[in-house]
Amino acid sequence: MKFGILVNEGPFTHQASDSAYQFAKAAIEKGHEVLRVFFYYDGVNNANKLSEPQSDDRNLVKLWGELGKEHNIDLVVCIAAALRRGIKQDVLADGFRISGLGQLIEVGIAADRTVVFGD
């Protein structure tokens, strides 16, 4: 099965990003494909390379980037939501790219299921 994932919450304020990451990992381990993860609203904070979680906390920015690279997952950050939150190309973490809502529509068409995490 091919999945698209929409993440609407940031990595430190809500469980949604962690749940989305765990879902993506589990889906891949079961032989499914994650075509794209689209970060929207506060979810764009998952792509901010300037975030520095405590050493004993998970680093979802790093984890998402590694998962994307390892499994060729397109990690797309909504440009409008990113700019509202001060995230531009120069603070984008490795493995992420900025694009528009068309990428969300496209994965919705290409995927068998699109799973939404966060409000």
73 forms beta bridges with none
52 pLDDT band (50/70/90 cuts)? confident
Average pLDDT over residues 8-30: 95
17 pLDDT band (50/70/90 cuts)? very high
Q: What is the mean pLDDT of the chain?
A: 95
- Indicate whether 29 pLDDT > 90: yes
109 pLDDT band (50/70/90 cuts)? very high
**Enzyme catalytic residues:** 78
The structural domains of the chain, ordered by start, are 2-117 (3.40.1260.10)
Half-sphere exposure of 105 (CA within 13 A, CB side): 4
> How would you classify the pairing of strands 2-7 and 113-117?
parallel
Average pLDDT over residues 50-68: 89
